Amino acid sequence: MSDIKKIKDEFLERLNKDLSIESVNQIKSELFGKNGKISSSFKILGSLPTEERKKFASDLNYVKDELQEKINKKIQQIEIKEINSKLENEKVDVTLPERNIVQGKIHPVSQVIDELSSIFSEIGFSVEEGPDVENEHYNFTALNTPDNHPARDMHDTFYLDDKKELLLRTHTSPVQVRTMLKGKPPFKIIAPGRTYRSDSDQTHAPMFHQVEGLHIDKNINMGHLKGCLNYFIKSFFEVDKIKMRFRPSHFPFTEPSAEVDIGYELKNGKIVIGEGDKWLEILGCGMVHPNVLKNVKINPDKYQGYAFGIGIDRLAMLKYGINDLRAFFETDYRWLNHFGFDPLDVPSNYRGLSR
Amino acid sequence: MKFTIGWLKEHLDTKFEDREIIEKLTDVGLEVESFEKVSSDLDNFKVAKIINAEQHPNADKLKVCDVDIGEQETVKVVCGAPNAQKDLLTVYAGPGSVIPKNNMKLTVSKIRGVTSYGMLCSESELNLSDESDGITELKSNKYSDKVGENFFKNNTEKVIDLSITPNRPDCLGVRGIARDLAAAGVGKLKHTSNTNIKNTGAQKIKISITKDKNQGCIIFGSCLIKDVSNKESPKWLKDKIESLGQKSISAIVDITNYVMLDLNRPLHAYDAGKIDEEIIVRNSIKGETFEALDNKEYKLDNDMCVISDKSGVLGLGGIIGGTRAGTEFNTKNILLESAYFLPRSIRKTSKLLNIDTDAKFRFERGIDPQSIELGLKKASKLIIEICGGKVSKFDVQKIKKYKKNKIKFKTSLFERIAGFKVKDKEIIKILTDLGFEVSKKKLELELTIPSWRPDITQPIDIVEEIVRIKGYNNIRTLEPDKTRFKATLNKQQKLFHFLQRSVASKGYFETVTWSFTDSKLNNLFKENYNEIKIVNPISSDLDVLRNSIFSNLISYLKKNLDRGFKDVSLFEIGPIFKDNKPGEQLTVLGAIKSGKISRLNWNEENRLVDLFDAKKDVIQTLVEAGYDRQNLFVREKSPSYYHPGKSGSVYLDKDDINPVAYFGEIHPNIIKKIDIKTEALVCFEIYLDYLKDKKIKLKDLKPQFKFSDYQKSDRDFAFVVDKHFKAQDIIDIISSIDESSIQSVKIFDVYEGENIPKDKKSIALNVTIQSSEKTLEESDLEKINKLIISTVETKSGAKIRS
């Protein structure tokens, strides 16, 4: 027994010293190796008398466990120490820049088109499109603007042939005609897209964007028109209250026709929509003219409804404080970066129209 | 259309304030553009204060004064008046002013070496008194707080400028405007004064309207006024004409203009002495010429409506008169014309000759055909009053009888359209006030349309009249109806939006450029499409519709490079045009990328962008859009504007005819021509119209989820193959050997050079093999290995590298 105790004390003492992993392994093999002190002590077990054997075996096992545990702890200790000292040397400067970020942008016109689609989707409108190149019939005649109509002068039209039959659409209204010709009422559509007029100065670009709206059903009247636009303007500018004014006007394809002004004020040189006593013209609208309905083979005694046209670029300018229309189309990297939108920022009803 | 409140009140009896009148005009659809005074010459005279007066360095009797004229800085004025002294309040006239006494126009001038900006005026110079000994002295109690204000009150009236929509010719005359206001409750329309004039003798110049085909003149009324003495207009008339910013010419011309603006009744006065015998209203003959009052000579085509005499054309009816029989100050006898020309004829002729006049503007929109005699009466009365003379009887020739139009109007239509109710009694009142004759028949009104309203032809026009006079603010705001008939976006539109955001998310900036472009640039990209010329381009470098998305993108990329940017990624999604008919267009997404990846980054090696960046972006976009990478197939074929060796086309399926996308480098010749300076440039384009609609919805598209937990094995191979053999084909060959166990084939090295024959290359591949049924034994794997090697060797002529 005293031998065992001796072994135990001796090795515990050794193990309490500051050791390398190799020394611990050395100790381990001195104890538990083939001819190790503990291993060989077990060998003498058989030669002991029965009554001693039991006690000896119990003592020996106890010491074996104690030493084994001590060694395991020691190894763990050394390993942790080693890792810690290694980590000490592995420190990097995390304030160094990350790898280059690539962030794309969505053009404000596209963003606003998506906003409009989301807003009108909420009240059941679907999106239609039409060709950029139109013929004179769809752009004018079918829209109750015959050749001798002075209203044609208001559209500075780009022509593609000398006979003036082919042209770039001057508004999105021909989509009304195309939509109604290919389907049956009711119709409830918006049609955003490119439009063209041969006009170019600070506030006019030869190409710009419009969104057309059309709602035809059996009992759609001017009250619905007002309600729809009131909803649209409030949603688009994300305000609770809006000051809106309907003024009589004239478009050949609607009657009665109206221009719509919204109230605004200037605060620190910026336009604030919804308040104030100044008026800003923002769109034209009216009840679809019976002649237009007849032109697309719809009986105006049965069906009626409204149409409107809004300048998309102008909406974008008002909402996002963009001053210069021409800049929309100049592809200045700085401008696109400044006014562009993150591609993940998809306007929707449930996530909100804009951040 | 311009007029003053005073003029309006000649027709309208009203107690309303100016402000209320202005608001009401807009409310009834006559949009007020502006309401302000026309500036006058006298606005140049300001109340001023002498801040300092010093002796002129070179003249004993002159002083140099610093004068406060209410602006930020004082002005220096040289003045000889003995009373010019510090703190004096006086009248200052700036450069450009005209001194009332002697009509002298002031300029900035040097007086004995000192520059004087304007002058300080004496009472005599201002025509206030005879006092000329010194400059005007203003009393400080009255003027001390008025420095900088106009000294003379501008007595001209404020002018209202209306923008009149093309359907309302009647409001191109002050009376028409007054009528609308009266109907809207702003006072009462005054009766036209009915004082008769004495018409003596017949109108002796013979007038005839020929029966030419498409004769543009229907009615020609006239009278002869003899022994007039034309002169400068009297002050009231001059003021009226000038208050609108027009120039007074002579009494006779001013009177015809006045009647036009007052009643929207254009007139024309001829010097009767210069007319050769008779007036013939006829169609022109090609080649005829005449000199118009704008001093231009016009060469006429066939069938334009002209007023002529025995010697030829005198003028274009309803558009512009000629110089030959124009009135002058010495004109003795006048033939006064009041006619009705057809809008269509006026429009056609004026467009062809490109003439725009006040008369043309009005006749084109439709003049009241029943105002012929009213116009002659009002004008001849004024001419006699101002210029003297005797008026003949009125002569009215016409080739068609004018009949007033009638329509039936069911009052219920009003509520159906406007959405609110107006009592029949009120409807009748509004229409009567607007000049309609109304008779009530049970549920309908029978309406006679006033002759001055050519725009009214059907019941909906009546609805508009009632709702605009009643006021648009009476229209209710109804909750939007939310019924839906169709999905918001169709599949193609969803794809458009998806691709747009997918490409943007890869670091590209979206741009929107013109649908037109420079034909010179377009030629580099137009391929087999027809050039589509714009007949009237806005400028010569935007003269064709674009046949490709790249002409604009590349020139804007260049502009950004010129701005100093190097790594630019741009894209646009929009139309390109195949031909000039509606619908002959395609929707294309084009993207372009220049410069380097990881430029100036401390821990990543930078490298030039290359075609595999473009390929990655285009393939990833297609995969994100739901197309299976396994099926995508790439060919070398691409349009001629790409680098022939560094570009490719992508097909949704090996068997497809139309590629859905191209990618690669732009042809070096084009880079050179456009003179782009960049380290590297790649691009891609996706054709949305060729992207096949995936008929199956995502919910039905997902196959059953199957996976294998058996052991995976990787094997590497290296094949030496013909240099032109496509990597894609080797992958295809291997993948199709055993689709159930070959999970993926990856190329990890391509090598040409030492140890490899010149016309060969080595391709190193890693193949992942995994069965869904069992763990593959070494022997199974060996079998597959052998099969891979033998199949590749037979099908591609490759040799395994040992």
The yes-or-no verdict on residue B662 having pLDDT over 70 is: yes
Does the pLDDT of residue B273 top 80, yes or no?
yes
CA dihedral (B464, B470, B472, B474) in degrees, to 10, reads -130
Q: What is the pLDDT of residues B154-166, one digit of tens each?
A: 666 788 999 999 9
Chain B interface disruption, residue of A229, A333, A341, A344, most B CBs within 10 A: A333
Given a cut of 80, whether residue B773 has pLDDT beyond it is: yes
What does the alpha-carbon distance between residue B105 and residue B200 come to, in Å, rounded to a whole number?
Answer: 49
Kindly tell me the burial class for residue B477, based on how many C-beta atoms sit within 10 Å of its own C-beta (0-12, 13-18, 19 or more). Answer: middle
* Residue-level pLDDT at A225: 96
**Rounded CA gap, A307 and A216, in Å?**
8
Residue B414: predicted pLDDT: 96
Cβ-based neighbours of B258, under 8 Å, separated by 6 or more: B237, B240, B241, B382
Do residues B663 and B618 make contact, with C-beta atoms less than 8 angstroms apart? yes
Distance from CA of A316 to the nearest CA of B (A): 14
Q: Does A93 touch chain B (CB under 8 A)?
A: no
Using left for φ > 0, alpha for ψ between -120 and 50, and beta otherwise, residue B113 falls in: left
B582 at A interface, C-beta within 8 A: yes
Q: What pLDDT digit, counting tens, does each position of B644-653 carry?
A: 999 999 999 9
Highest mean pLDDT among A28-42, A218-232, B87-101, B238-252: A218-232
pTM of the model: 0.84
Helix, strand, coil distribution of chain A in percent, nearest 5: 45, 25, 35
- Chain A CB contacts of B597 below 8 Å: 100
- Cβ atoms A67, A33 nearer than 8 A: no
Q: Of A93-107, A231-245, B359-373, B699-713, where does mean pLDDT reach its minimum?
A: B699-713
Of the partner residues B458, B480, B537, the one whose CB lies closest to the CB of residue A290: B458
Sorted by where each starts, the structural domains of chain B and their CATH numbers stand as 2-38+156-189 (3.30.56.10), 41-143 (2.40.50.140), 206-398 (3.50.40.10), 406-471 (3.30.56.10), 491-690 (3.30.930.10), 708-800 (3.30.70.380)
- What is the structure's pLDDT at B41? 67
Q: For residues A53, A57, A63 and A64, what is the CA-based torsion angle, rounded to 10 degrees? A: 140
Say if residue B145's pLDDT is above 90.
no
pLDDT of residue B226: 93
Nearest to B272 by CA among B315, B225, B318, B319: B225
Above 90 in pLDDT, residue B738? no
Residue of B482, B568, B577 lying closest to A123 (CB–CB): B482
Confidence check: pLDDT of B320 > 70: yes
Q: Give the homologous superfamily in CATH for domain A108-339.
A: Bira Bifunctional Protein; Domain 2 (3.30.930.10)
Does residue B694 surpass a pLDDT of 70? no
pLDDT of residue B40: 65
What pLDDT is stored for residue B107 in this prediction?
85
Q: Which residues, numbered 222 to 261 in chain A, qualify as contacts with chain B under a Cβ-Cβ cut-off of 8 Å?
A: 222-228, 230-231, 245-250, 255-259
Q: Which long-range contacts (CB under 8 A, 24 or more apart) does B409-414 make?
A: B409/B444, B409/B445, B409/B446, B409/B447, B409/B459, B409/B462, B410/B443, B410/B444, B410/B459, B411/B443, B411/B444, B411/B445, B412/B443, B413/B459, B413/B460, B413/B462, B413/B463, B414/B462, B414/B463, B414/B466, B414/B467
What is the predicted pLDDT for the residue at B405?
Answer: 92
Give the C-alpha separation, B218 to B340, whole Å.
6
Q: What is the pLDDT of residue B247?
A: 80
The pLDDT, as a whole number, for residue A277 is 82
The packing angle between helices B778-796 and B727-735, to 10°, is 140
pLDDT of residue A2: 60
Q: What does the block give as tokens for B465?
A: 């009249």
pLDDT of residue B156: 67
Biggest CA–CA distance in chain B, Å, is: 130
Residue B140 binned pLDDT confidence (cut-offs 50, 70, 90): confident
Torsion of Cα atoms, B449 then B453 then B457 then B459, to 10°: -70
Nearest CA in chain B to A209: B512
| Cβ contact, residue pair B512, A110, below 8 Å | yes
| Nearest CA-CA distance, residue A249 and chain B, Å | 5
Q: Please state the domain extents for chain A.
A: 2-89, 108-339
Instruction: Tokens for B262, please give them.
Output: 């007052």
What 3-state DSSP class applies to B561? helix
Of A173, A132, A189, the C-alpha closest to A292 is A173
Radius of gyration of chain B from its Cα atoms, rounded to whole angstroms: 42
Cα–Cα distance for residue pair B420/B665, rounded to 1 Å: 65
Spans of chain A below 50 pLDDT: none
Q: Do the Cβ atoms of A129 and B545 come within 8 Å?
A: no
According to DSSP, residue A341 is labeled B
- Alpha-carbon separation of residue A295 from A148, A292, B41, B167, B454 (angstroms): 18, 5, 56, 20, 22
% pLDDT > 70, chain B: 98
Burial group, residue B625, by CB count within 10 angstroms (0-12, 13-18, 19+): middle
Please tell me the predicted confidence (pLDDT) of residue A48.
Answer: 80
> What's the token pair of residue B648?
């490719």
| Facing B165 at nearest CB: one of A105, A126, A249 | A249
In this predicted structure, the answer to whether residue B240 has a pLDDT above a threshold of 90 is no
Q: Please give the mean pLDDT across all residues of chain B.
A: 91
Q: Where are the beta strands (DSSP E) in B546-654?
A: 569-577, 585-594, 596-597, 607-608, 633-635, 642-651
Cα separation, B276 vs B274, whole angstroms? 6
Shortest CA gap B57–chain A (Å): 48
User: Which ipTM score applies to this complex?
Assistant: 0.87
Band of pLDDT at residue B38, cut at 50, 70 and 90: low
The strand pairing partners of B589, in sequence order, are B573, B686
Write out pLDDT tens, residues B438-469. Answer: 999 888 999 999 999 999 999 999 999 999 99
Q: Are B798 and B721 in contact (CB under 8 A)?
A: yes
Length reported for chain A:
355
* Residue B454 to residues A155, A247, A255, Cα–Cα distance (Å): 22, 22, 15
Distance CA A333, CA A300 (A): 50
Who's near B295: CB < 8 A, 6+ residues apart? Answer: B323
With a CB-CB cutoff of 8 Å, which residues 390-419 of chain B face chain A?
Answer: 416-419
Rounded Cα gap, residues A262 and A245, in angstroms: 6
Q: What is the average per-residue pLDDT within B261-279?
A: 93
